[in-house]
Chain A
Amino acid sequence: MKFAHMADIHLGATSDPKLKELEMNTFRKAFEICIEEDVDFILISGDLFHVNIPDLSIVKEVVKIMKKVIENKRKIYVVYGSHDYSPNAVSIIDILEEAGIIVRIGRGKIEKGLFRPEVIVDERSNAIITGISARKLSLEREVFKILDREYLSSFKGYKIFMFHTAIDELKRKGEYYEGISSTDLPSGFDYYAGGHIHRRIEYGRIFYPGPLFTGWGVDLENTVRGERRGFYIIENGRSKFIDLTPFEGIYRDIDVAGKSAFEVNNLLKEFIEKTDVRNKVVVLKVHGELIRGKTSDIDFSYIKNEIMKRGAIYLHLNRSQLRSKEYDIIVSSESDSQKIEEEIFMEVIKGKKFTEERLLSLELPKALFNQLKVQKKEGEVSLDYERRMKEAAIEVLGIKKLLEG
């Protein structure tokens, strides 16, 4: 028996065109390897997509890739992840199942107060596959408490349990999700196919492959810092990790404490000059408190342009912990929240030098905020919404000519 185990693919998570392309290429490659390796079936332990109803162009591509496996008479077994599950709407997972592309694992019924998950026997390999689907906020933990363990132990053969839940004892510092204990998993299975933890873990018979591709946030940072990405192929009980890390990266941590904005600009320029960023994903983490100047004095748009101009695949800029000393506490005498915000805004821009007078009034920011409040229309895809918002914002700011020129 030979099978593949993937998880946390999060297709559609990234909005950057280059990363999007890499994301789909990685997914395609993973499936091509599965076909080459002639696996009997593929397991996807949740979060195949980043949202329950993703961009249809992504779905089309996924169906195209998966169909090759189906045509080869192999099955793809999937449990809901916390991202592609919806408590009140149809998920794309349901649609793929209806279309016969995937087989969903995790259905079940309550009998005498106990949850009996549906058990499926893979026709090709006779593997016995069952599992528990994820819910939002890890609510599936309650299902583990009422799992009919005796019922599951009655099945004999090579048994696989799929789940998309973290295990408490495997959590790392800085990981805050709610999990279960490894003892919550039903005993007697040969392979526990986990998802939800974005790290590769082998813990007894419990396997988490981690994300196949990581185009966002901390995951992207971790990949750049050396964490390998891919999936497992299990053959006759032996596991093999297929490394699909799609890019090499450069990680740079810059602590600005004790430095002025001017000095940080120089530091960043020096970094660009001395670093070969070609075909690499660059993660720049800039943090700390400036002693002089504002955070906006650091010319990040220049840095970004330069890095991209020098052939980087993508720049991920983490400046969430960057602070400027020049923002003092402002005490407002107003009680109405809108007035407090207006007062704080005026206090912050007081004394600033702008070439245009309109930048010193409240009118422009108010108009911009009102525009940014506009919600997505029914049926409007994310890309169109993003484009519409950008155009409207450019209009409000009156910088269309500037951008074109």
Chain B
Amino acid sequence: MTIVGSIVEGNSKYLIMRERKGADLELGELVVIDDEKRKYICMVYNIEYGVLLEQGRLYTSAGTIIEKTNPKLEFPNDDLRIFRKIYLKPLIEIHNGKYRSPISIPKLFSNVRRVEKEDLSFIKEPDTKVFLGKIRSGGRILDFDYYMNGEEMISHHTIIAAQTGRGKSNLVKVMLWEIMNHGKFGILLLDIHNEYFGIGNNKGLKDHPNADRYLLYYSKTPPPGHKKLKVSLTTIDPEDLFGIIELTEAQREAISVYRRQYKEEWIKELMCKDLSNIAQSTLRSLRRKIGNLFRIRISDSGEPYCEDEIFNFEKIGEKTIFDIANALENGKIVIIDGSSIPDETGLVIMSAIMREVFRRYENYKDQGILKDKLQIGVVLEEAPRILGELYDKNIFGRIAREGRKFKIGLIAVTQMASVIPDEILANIGTKIIMGNEMKKERLKLIENSPQDLSDYDYIIAGLEKGESIVSSIFTKFPVPIYTPLFDDIAKSEKEKSEIVVF
């Protein structure tokens, strides 16, 4: 074990070590301080020069070098008066085999070394594990798989926040791949770029060995063996629109009137029948909004019809919402291909499904059988308004606030965490923070993280693709991880399955 430094200063919030020459520690690296009885795992969060010389001598020396004067005033490499000061944030204290947030500090001059896989043995694999990646020490990836307990992670909600191109979708795919190994969670996902399933030769969740059992794919144009997305508009409730599209109070009231009067035929009647107690201007605007949402047109005979293949006024797809809710209850991952429909339309379908799931799980709770039901999660991707300004009106905001009591959780994937209200962010138990150059976004996440991330601002800004910090109410410290490429995981799984044992 190579010693990389020695503790020379600090307090319970931070420690400073003098770095051994040539150790070259990096920001974000994990180090271990071995005390007599205790072991501390710390993270490098700042690096400074340490110089025990007058500043004038340093400037003079630099001048002789760059101006090429003689004699040069240089310092030998082994000059003990020049070194690097490494600022360490204590993350974990291990004492008698137990680990906890630090309540003590190591002795002065304690040796510091780089973390090794064995130092992390206190992190145990949970039963319903969800693989997030390998633990990372700075840029060095350790051969240590990091899993979170899926039940905790999903029930208490998770946010995956990053700027575009930092690997958010890859991480979600990796998580879902693992979930498909055990089938213990039902996950609903609106795939706005149609990238999760794996169309054609692209790798995707369809390549999982359990895809037949645990994956359902709904699309307007599915490959054989997969589900055609058909939704009867009779299964859409006004509640599914509220908080997804913007509606005035008058429009909401008008929708409620149609719903009361025409029951499940409310959309059809709203599109073609005037009611005397609703203003024409309200109706016109409402018809335009709903018409655009479901691509409704009016025939020459005055009958409304859906131009899109997905929706209809007949009873085609009358059980789609019900069937998907069933699949989720049975631990399946349901992907809805949202690439060919407007985002809002996809969200309305998601809303209808989650409304049905919520209704069922509320009943199960009333009957006292909720504990026997599987955890359900919904992945909400790039929908900042839904959890932002509209959150108090839609089902997703309700899930964020109350879902935990009903075993329903959110997995929000976003690059705009700053628009999510504190009330929602505070309810999200796990934050997976990936690289982000926007200070506003970083600060919002840092302020709302379960652990103190006040020293992580610069580190988060510098995270590379695939790198992230997992800050959770279920972890004792912010865990730095690297998530491998999904294609590599899918490939290695395929290779494993091709090995024939004689």
- In this assembly, does B227 line the interface, its C-beta being within 8 Å of a C-beta of chain A? yes
Q: Which residues of A contact B323 (CB under 8 A)?
A: 168, 171
Assess whether A170 is in contact with B316, with CB atoms less than 8 Å apart. yes
Assess whether B228 is in contact with A183, with CB atoms less than 8 Å apart. yes
Interface of B, helix, strand, loop or mixed by DSSP: loop
Q: Which residues of B contact A169 (CB under 8 A)?
A: 227-228, 230, 316-317, 320
Q: How many residues of A contact B (CB 8 A)?
A: 16
Binds A, one of B108-116, B217-225, B434-442, B493-501: B217-225
Q: Which residues of A contact B315 (CB under 8 A)?
A: 172
Q: Which residues of A contact B319 (CB under 8 A)?
A: 168, 171-173, 175
For the complex, give the distance between the alpha carbons of A168 and B326 in Å: 13
For the complex, give the distance between the alpha carbons of A175 and B227 in Å: 17
Q: Which residues of A contact B227 (CB under 8 A)?
A: 168-169, 181, 183
- In this assembly, does A182 line the interface, its C-beta being within 8 Å of a C-beta of chain B? yes
For the complex, give the distance between the alpha carbons of A323 and B314 in Å: 35
For the complex, give the distance between the alpha carbons of A234 and B294 in Å: 34
Known contacts A168-B227, A168-B323, A173-B322; is A181 also within 8 Å of B222 by CB? yes
Assess whether B318 is in contact with A184, with CB atoms less than 8 Å apart. no
Give per-residue flags for B190-228: 1 if the beta carbon is below 8 A from chain A beta carbons, else 0: 000000000000000000000000000000001111111
For the complex, give the distance between the alpha carbons of A175 and B222 in Å: 23
Give per-residue flags for B97-114: 1 if the beta carbon is below 8 A from chain A beta carbons, else 0: 000000000000000000
- In this assembly, does A145 line the interface, its C-beta being within 8 Å of a C-beta of chain B? yes
Interface positions of B from 298 to 343, Cβ below 8 Å from A = 315-320, 322-323
- In this assembly, does A354 line the interface, its C-beta being within 8 Å of a C-beta of chain B? no
- In this assembly, does A149 line the interface, its C-beta being within 8 Å of a C-beta of chain B? yes
Most buried by B among A172, A173, A203: A173
CB distance from A114 to the nearest CB of B (A): 12
Q: Which residues of A contact B222 (CB under 8 A)?
A: 181, 183
Assess whether A203 is in contact with B316, with CB atoms less than 8 Å apart. yes
> Which among A149, A168, A175 is the interface contact of B224 at CB below 8 angstroms?
A149
Assess whether A184 is in contact with B320, with CB atoms less than 8 Å apart. no
Interface positions of A from 147 to 171, Cβ below 8 Å from B = 147, 149, 168-171
For the complex, give the distance between the alpha carbons of A170 and B230 in Å: 9
Known contacts A181-B222, A183-B222, A183-B223; is A172 also within 8 Å of B228 by CB? no
- In this assembly, does A144 line the interface, its C-beta being within 8 Å of a C-beta of chain B? yes
Q: Which residues of A contact B230 (CB under 8 A)?
A: 169
For the complex, give the distance between the alpha carbons of A400 and B316 in Å: 54
Most buried by A among B224, B230, B317: B224
Assess whether B318 is in contact with A181, with CB atoms less than 8 Å apart. no
CB distance from A226 to the nearest CB of B (A): 15
Range, interface on chain B: 10 to 19
For the complex, give the distance between the alpha carbons of A149 and B225 in Å: 12
Give per-residue flags for A172-188: 1 if the beta carbon is below 8 A from chain B beta carbons, else 0: 11010000011110000
> Which among A171, A173, A183, A203 is the interface contact of B225 at CB below 8 angstroms?
A183
For the complex, give the distance between the alpha carbons of A240 and B228 in Å: 27
> Which among B224, B226, B318 is the interface contact of A172 at CB below 8 angstroms?
B318
Which single residue of chain A is at the shortest CB-CB distance from B230? A169
CB distance from B85 to the nearest CB of A (A): 64
CB distance from A196 to the nearest CB of B (A): 15
Q: Which residues of B contact A173 (CB under 8 A)?
A: 318-319, 322
For the complex, give the distance between the alpha carbons of A29 and B177 in Å: 57
Assess whether A181 is in contact with B316, with CB atoms less than 8 Å apart. no
Which single residue of chain A is at the shortest CB-CB distance from B225? A145
Give per-residue flags for A193-218: 1 if the beta carbon is below 8 A from chain B beta carbons, else 0: 00000000001000000000000000
Assess whether A181 is in contact with B226, with CB atoms less than 8 Å apart. yes
Interface positions of B from 28 to 80, Cβ below 8 Å from A = none
For the complex, give the distance between the alpha carbons of A306 and B227 in Å: 51
Q: Which residues of A contact B318 (CB under 8 A)?
A: 171-173
Assess whether A182 is in contact with B228, with CB atoms less than 8 Å apart. yes
CB distance from B222 to the nearest CB of A (A): 5
Which single residue of chain B is at the shortest CB-CB distance from A186? B224
Q: Which residues of B contact A171 (CB under 8 A)?
A: 318-319, 323
For the complex, give the distance between the alpha carbons of A145 and B224 in Å: 8
Give per-residue flags for B462-481: 1 if the beta carbon is below 8 A from chain A beta carbons, else 0: 00000000000000000000
Known contacts A168-B323, A173-B322; is A183 also within 8 Å of B316 by CB? no
CB distance from B294 to the nearest CB of A (A): 16
Known contacts A169-B230, A172-B315; is A144 also within 8 Å of B320 by CB? no
Give per-residue flags for B145-166: 1 if the beta carbon is below 8 A from chain A beta carbons, else 0: 0000000000000000000000
CB distance from A198 to the nearest CB of B (A): 14
Assess whether A184 is in contact with B316, with CB atoms less than 8 Å apart. no
Known contacts A172-B318, A173-B319; is A144 also within 8 Å of B225 by CB? yes
Assess whether B225 is in contact with A184, with CB atoms less than 8 Å apart. yes
CB distance from A154 to the nearest CB of B (A): 16
Assess whether B224 is in contact with A183, with CB atoms less than 8 Å apart. yes
Which single residue of chain B is at the shortest CB-CB distance from A142? B212
> Which among B226, B317, B320 is the interface contact of A183 at CB below 8 angstroms?
B226
Which single residue of chain B is at the shortest CB-CB distance from A146? B225
For the complex, give the distance between the alpha carbons of A184 and B217 in Å: 13
Q: Which residues of A contact B223 (CB under 8 A)?
A: 183
Q: Which residues of A contact B225 (CB under 8 A)?
A: 144-145, 181, 183-184
CB distance from A53 to the nearest CB of B (A): 34
For the complex, give the distance between the alpha carbons of A175 and B318 in Å: 10
Interface positions of A from 274 to 321, Cβ below 8 Å from B = none
CB distance from B210 to the nearest CB of A (A): 15
CB distance from B19 to the nearest CB of A (A): 61
Q: Which residues of B contact A147 (CB under 8 A)?
A: 224
Which single residue of chain A is at the shortest CB-CB distance from B319? A171
CB distance from A235 to the nearest CB of B (A): 25
For the complex, give the distance between the alpha carbons of A169 and B319 in Å: 7
For the complex, give the distance between the alpha carbons of A298 and B285 in Å: 55
Assess whether A184 is in contact with B224, with CB atoms less than 8 Å apart. yes
CB distance from A140 to the nearest CB of B (A): 14
CB distance from B354 to the nearest CB of A (A): 19
For the complex, give the distance between the alpha carbons of A169 and B222 in Å: 13
Q: Which residues of B contact A184 (CB under 8 A)?
A: 224-225
CB distance from B408 to the nearest CB of A (A): 23
For the complex, give the distance between the alpha carbons of A161 and B317 in Å: 23
For the complex, give the distance between the alpha carbons of A147 and B225 in Å: 10
For the complex, give the distance between the alpha carbons of A50 and B317 in Å: 28
Assess whether B322 is in contact with A181, with CB atoms less than 8 Å apart. no
CB distance from A17 to the nearest CB of B (A): 36
Q: Which residues of A contact B224 (CB under 8 A)?
A: 147, 149, 183-184
CB distance from A203 to the nearest CB of B (A): 7
For the complex, give the distance between the alpha carbons of A391 and B72 in Å: 124
Q: Which residues of B contact A182 (CB under 8 A)?
A: 228
Give per-residue flags for A63-83: 1 if the beta carbon is below 8 A from chain B beta carbons, else 0: 000000000000000000000
Q: Which residues of B contact A168 (CB under 8 A)?
A: 227-228, 319-320, 323
For the complex, give the distance between the alpha carbons of A182 and B219 in Å: 12
For the complex, give the distance between the alpha carbons of A383 and B320 in Å: 42
For the complex, give the distance between the alpha carbons of A171 and B227 in Å: 13
CB distance from A6 to the nearest CB of B (A): 23
Q: Which residues of B contact A172 (CB under 8 A)?
A: 315, 318-319
Interface positions of B from 207 to 264, Cβ below 8 Å from A = 222-228, 230
For the complex, give the distance between the alpha carbons of A173 and B315 in Å: 9
Q: Which residues of A contact B228 (CB under 8 A)?
A: 168-169, 181-183
List 8 tightest A-B contacts by C-beta distance, closest first.
A169-B230, A171-B319, A181-B227, A169-B317, A181-B228, A183-B222, A172-B318, A183-B224
A-B contact pairs, 26 of them (CB 8 A): A144-B225, A145-B225, A147-B224, A149-B224, A168-B319, A168-B320, A168-B323, A169-B230, A169-B316, A169-B320, A171-B318, A171-B319, A172-B315, A173-B318, A173-B319, A175-B319, A181-B222, A181-B226, A181-B227, A181-B228, A182-B228, A183-B225, A183-B226, A183-B227, A184-B224, A184-B225
Q: Which residues of A contact B (CB under 8 A)?
A: 144-145, 147, 149, 168-173, 175, 181-184, 203
11 further contact pairs, Cβ within 8 A, besides A172-B318, A182-B228: A168-B227, A168-B319, A169-B227, A169-B230, A169-B317, A169-B320, A170-B316, A173-B318, A181-B225, A181-B226, A183-B228
